[in-house]
Every structure is written in structure tokens, then in C-alpha cells.
Structure 1
Amino acid sequence: MSDDEELESYGADMGQKSSTGVFEWVIVDGNRLLVAALLTAAVSVLLLGLNAFDVIAFQNANSVTRVASGMIAGTFSLVTLVVSINQMILSQEFSSAGEARDQLDGVMDFREDVESLAKVPASPASPSRLIDLIVVTIHERADDLEESVSDNRDADCRDAVSQYVAGIDDSTQRIHETLKETEFGTFNAVSAAINYNDAWQIYAGRHLYGRYEDSFSEETSEAFERLLDALRLFDVAREQFKTTYLQRELTQFSRQTLYCGVPSVLSAIVLGLVYADISGSSLAPDLLPFVAVALITVVVSPLALLAAYILRTATVAHRTASIGPMLPQKDPEEGPFDVSYGESEE
């Protein structure tokens, strides 16, 4: 397989979403409260449907009270989990004066690198605008690279670089269009950042640089270095952006779970009290299934909220598990740019 074919077959897929449609909306793109509401509604419909077909019943007081007791215990366990998550987040916020100073110095050094590469007086304070600036810088540096090889005598080199730059231009255009319409706090900005294929672009760029370095002019070599520097800055910014967003996401999840936790416990208690009468339920048999299902729906709402948030956070963590040009393949034996020891000395 030639280098051009490898660039075409692997470059378009790296960093793209692994699924589309309804499933992608449920696990990542959809509003988490809406997803949780749909999950609880599905529970209600399922229980009512099973009752309508006489698969389950709500007449046995002992069975329902045992279920209510289990629900109360489960809700308290979930609240304990939420407290643990809050402790984990808070532990990242505490630091000594020296640690805080080191963190600030690191952030300022990074911003200065962005300002130097993007040629701006000051980098944006908004994370999404900062990433957008780096994306625009990548696009401009890629164009500079292509222009620098326009008079190169090696046709294979020109074609490989042109194809590489075309892939970068296409990717940066897509993420730029998304980022300029979003604000920090919306998942669209995070989704655009985590799905940008910077790892592939660094990997392919380093390979092309190593393969055609001898035919590059000094201008081309410098253009390549500036492009790779911009891609590395995007990688760092994306990790910071993702971390900040997930901290906010988990904090919001903790707060909303506590909001749902109290009604959930109260609903489970009421469900048990409905069957506390010695003669059985205190409600009419026709109303009993609807009241029981409504109370159970409130009880499971914290669990639905947990599922909705964990689906997103786990998916984001999975898609950004590696930093830099470490590209997991579907098959461990396959991968572009197959090389062997000592090849550069031949």
C-alpha cells in the first residue's frame, strides 16, 4: 500500500464518532436531563405494559414493601456515591500556595506559546475560543506548509504533503464551524474538540517529515515544525478543556442527584405506606397500578440520572484515552506506515 492510499484510508476515520443516529444522541449528544427523563418514562411504560399483560401485579403487599425497602437502601447508596464523587472533585481543587503557583505558571506558559504561534497580543479567556484560535492557527500553518513545497522538485513529496494538508484543512474547517457557534458549557464544543483527529495528524506529519526531510528546504522544515507545534498545543488545550468540562459535568450531576434523592426516598416510603394497612392496599384496585408505577418512576429517577451522565463521561474518557500519536486500531496487526528497523539509513 502506498503512502497516499494510507493517508486516505486512515486519515478520514481517526477522531470520528464511532456511532451515529439515536444511539449517539443517547450516549453523548443529547441533553442529560432529557435522556434521564426518557429513561424514567421508559420504565413507566414498561411497568404499565407488563401489568396490562398480567406479567406483574401490584396486589401483594409483602412483595411491594420489600421492593420499597430495597429502593430506599439503593437510593442511600447512590447518594453515598455522589458524595464520593464530590470529594474526588474537591480534592483536585485544594492545593498549597506552591502548587497553585506552579499551576498558574504552567497555564501562563501555555497561553504564551499560543500567543506566539498564533501571533496575537493575548489568547482568549474562553476555552472554546482558545481552541478555535489554535484550530485556525493549525489551518494557516498547514497552508504555509503546502505553499513552501510548491516548488519542490520531488513530485511524490509535493503530492503527499498536499494530501496531508487537504485532510487538515477539511478537519479544521469542520471544527471551526462548530466552535464559532457554541459557548463553553455546551457539549457541542467538547464533542468537536474530542473528535478532532489531531493524534492522526501528528502521527502522519512526523512520518512525512522523516521520510522526505532530505528533500525539504529550510523553509519547509520550519513550516512543518510550526504545524506540529500547533497540533501539540491543540492536544494540550483539548485535555484541559475536557477536564474542566467533566469537572463541571460531574458537579452538576451531583447536585441534580441530590435534588432527585429526597423525592426518591419519600416516594419509596409512600409506596410502602400505601400497603401498610392490614387488609392490604388503601387504594382502589383500579388506581393501584398507576399510583405504584408513578411512585416507582420517581424512585428510579436518580438511577436514570446516573446512567445518563455516566454514559457521556465514560464515552468521552474512552475516546480520549490516549494523548498524542498513539492510535488504537481495530486490528492490532494493522496500521499505516509500516516501518522496519534501520529503514532511515538505507
Structure 2
Amino acid sequence: MQERASDTRFKRWILLDANRWSIVGLLTIGLFAMLLALTAASPAPVTILQTESSVNFVFSSLVTGVITAVTLILGINQLVIAQELGPLGKQRNRMKGAMDFRQDVEDAAGLTVSPTEPATFFRALVEASQKQAETVRSTLDDDTAGDACEEIEKYLDDITDNASEVSNQLKGTEFGTFQVLNAALDYDYSRKIHTGRRIQNEYRSVLSEEVLNEFGDLLEILKFLGPAREHFKTFYFQWELINLSHAILYTAVPALIASFTMILFFDPGFIPGMIFGMNTAVLVVCVSVTIGTVPFIVLLAYILRIATVAKRTLAVGPFTLRKTGGSEDIHWEE
């Protein structure tokens, strides 16, 4: 995925790879440092703190914002839960669809019973595509046209190398962590389907019936990867939104306590002196503002990854929704 995207490694680490609480910690420290820097650069904060009304206004706004954020997250949480509710007929159809999909995967991939763990299930599909690619390779004969054989070999190498890498990433991962979906994003099944269909149609006349049949089986396996990834992505989004709800609720309590304390009890005259060369009252305000904004930082950290994943997986199937550096060629029938 790093090779296909134009993002830097640091940007990808911020958006996807990093633990969300690490991002929360970095943003919180950054906000606090920025407040201290602004305070040190200008004497205005000390003057403003001489009037309690300005402090009350700031923290009253924070209280309103925190309560609004909690209400919003609880609403999102209810929507997630509502998707799991429904009459018996709907639940039965969901069960039937899941079992039918599993049966189709088992038939195509040669599995006796498909795994129940999402990471193992997706790894089984990836490894099935790798095995089928090797089967296609074994059916190629010396009579295959040079250009066709060279392109097919390159295509099969791409599948086996990518499948091996993704399979290694999935080993030992557990659902509920981003590693499962991250590995699934690294397997570019849509491009493989498109390239495979083009090769199949372009060289149909020079390939044997056995090769074409095995090639068709390979494409069938690749087609299962799209629905499987989208299904696990849906689960992951629901899981993350529930985790976000918990995190917002946990951080909202200290944020409200800090804000109410500053509104009800803060008096610059009762906090004299200096700490590390900085007015103590200003330092207390900076700490309280930082604590009061933690729920918003948590929301930002989680939504960054959810929105990034959603943007990169908008299309199901062979569609490229990113910059490719040029227009794609159109292949007409001769």
C-alpha cells in the first residue's frame, strides 16, 4: 500500500499505523507545548488572567463542547448498535448470506471448513490465491507464445510475492487491532483482477484450455477477497466506533472536572508565584485547557484513521480511486 500511495511514511504512520493513544499523547503534548510557547512569547495571557470573566468564558465553552461531543458519540454508538438489531427474518438472512459465502469460499479455495477468525480466514484466501497461481504456472507449456508467457510469469510472481508478504503479516494478528485490516489493505486484489482479466482475454488464442480454466479459477478466488475485506472493514469500523465511545466517555469526566473547577474556584490572586520562570496562574490555565480538550483530541485521532481507511477502500472491484500519473489505456476488441 505504501508503494501505491503518495503519502510519506510519517504521514502513513500518523494516519494508519500508530496506536491511537500514541497519537492522542503526541497531540496533547503538542497542544500544551504550543500554549506554553505562546505564553512565553507574549505578556498578554498574564494580563488577561487578571479578569476572571475571560477564564470563565473559555471554560464555559469547553464544557459546552465536551457535553456536545459526548452526546454526538452516544448518538453514533446507538446507530452502530441499531445495525445489529432486527427481526428474526433479517437475522436469518444475514446468517444464510454468511454461510453461503463461506461455502463458496471453501469450494473455490479447496478448504474443508473455512476458519472463523477474520485474520485466518483472510489469510486462507490469500494463500489460496498463491497456491492457485502456482497451479497456473505449472500448466504453462513451452509452446506458449513468448510475450504471453513472460507477462503471465510476471503476473503470477506479483501474486505469489504479495500473498506471501500479506500472509506473514496476518500470522499471529487478532481481530480488534488494526493489523488485520492493514494487512488486507496491502493486498491489491482489484489490480490483480483487472490485470488477470486483460491477460486472459488478450492471450486467449495462444493459451491452452487447461491454462484458461486454471486462470479462471484464480480470478474467482481473487474476487472473494473484495467482499471479505469489506466485511471485515465493516466489523472494524463498528469496533473502533465503540472503542471511540468508551474513550470519549473516559476522557470527558476529567475534562468536565477541570473545566468546572476553573469556572467555580479559579482566582488568579490565590495562585501567586512563578514555576520554571512562568506565572503559576497561567500554567494552571494551560494545564486545565489541555485536559479540557483531550476528548476532542481523542475524537480527532480515531476519526483520522477511520476516514483514511474509508477513503482508500471506497471502491469494491477493479476501480482505481487515486492518482496514477497518467491516463489508462483502453483495450478494444479486435
TM-score interval, normalised by the smaller of the two chains: over 0.9
- CA shift, 1:310, in A, is 0.5
Counterpart for residue 283 of structure 1: 271
Counterpart for residue 296 of structure 1: 289
- CA shift, 1:23, in A, is 1.9
What SS does structure 1 have at the residue aligned with 2:270? Answer: coil
- Superposition pairs of residues 121-160 of structure 1, within 5 angstroms: 121-160=112-151
CA distance in 2, matches of 1:329, 1:69: 43
CA distance in 2, matches of 1:197, 1:338: 21
- Superposition pairs of residues 304-343 of structure 1, within 5 angstroms: 304-330=297-323, 334-335=327-328, 337-339=329-331, 343=332
- CA shift, 1:20, in A, is 3.4
Matched, 1:53 2:32: no
2:109–2:125 Cα contact (<8 Å) kept: yes
Distance 1:129 1:55, change over 3 A: farther
2:118–2:175 Cα contact (<8 Å) kept: yes
CA distance in 2, matches of 1:61, 1:173: 63
CA distance in 1, matches of 2:182, 2:18: 11
After superposing on structure 2, the runs of 4+ consecutive aligned residues of structure 1 that deviate more than 4 Å are none
Counterpart for residue 178 of structure 1: 169
Counterpart for residue 5 of structure 1: none
CA distance in 2, matches of 1:274, 1:186: 42
CA distance in 2, matches of 1:159, 1:67: 68
The one-letter code sitting in structure 1 at the alignment partner of 2:315 is S
- CA shift, 1:285, in A, is 4.8
- CA shift, 1:262, in A, is 1.6
Distance 1:37 1:68, change over 3 A: same
- Superposition pairs of residues 1-346 of structure 1, within 5 angstroms: 16-54=4-42, 56-58=44-46, 59=49, 60-275=51-266, 277=267, 280-286=268-274, 287-330=280-323, 334-335=327-328, 337-339=329-331, 343-344=332-333, 346=334
The CA deviation string for residues 145-179 of structure 1, in whole angstroms up to 9 with x for no partner, is 12222334311111111111111112111101100
CA distance in 2, matches of 1:15, 1:317: 19
The one-letter code sitting in structure 2 at the alignment partner of 1:153 is T
1:200–1:325 Cα contact (<8 Å) kept: yes
| Consecutive unaligned residues in structure 2, runs of 5 or more | 275-279
2:2–2:9 Cα contact (<8 Å) kept: no
CA distance in 1, matches of 2:143, 2:100: 36
Return the TM-score normalized by structure 2: 0.92
CA distance in 1, matches of 2:100, 2:112: 14
Counterpart for residue 277 of structure 2: none
CA distance in 2, matches of 1:68, 1:14: 42
**How high is the sequence identity, in percent, across the aligned residues?**
32
2:259–2:292 Cα contact (<8 Å) kept: yes
Deviates more, 1:93-102 or 1:142-151: 142-151
Counterpart for residue 7 of structure 1: none
The CA deviation string for residues 125-163 of structure 1, in whole angstroms up to 9 with x for no partner, is 100000000000000111111222233431111111111
- CA shift, 1:66, in A, is 0.7
1:203–1:325 Cα contact (<8 Å) kept: yes
CA distance in 2, matches of 1:243, 1:196: 17
1:260–1:302 Cα contact (<8 Å) kept: yes
- CA shift, 1:330, in A, is 1.8
The CA deviation string for residues 286-332 of structure 1, in whole angstroms up to 9 with x for no partner, is 32122212211111110010010000000000110100001124269
What SS does structure 1 have at the residue aligned with 2:45? Answer: coil
Distance 1:332 1:38, change over 3 A: closer
Return the TM-score normalized by structure 1: 0.89
- CA shift, 1:18, in A, is 3.7
2:144–2:207 Cα contact (<8 Å) kept: no
- CA shift, 1:56, in A, is 4.6
CA distance in 2, matches of 1:315, 1:128: 21
Deviates more, 1:143-152 or 1:34-43: 143-152
1:79–1:257 Cα contact (<8 Å) kept: yes
- CA shift, 1:19, in A, is 2.1
Distance 1:252 1:259, change over 3 A: same
Counting matched residue pairs gives 326
| Consecutive unaligned residues in structure 1, runs of 5 or more | 1-12
What SS does structure 1 have at the residue aligned with 2:176? Answer: coil
The one-letter code sitting in structure 2 at the alignment partner of 1:111 is R
What SS does structure 2 have at the residue aligned with 1:328? Answer: coil
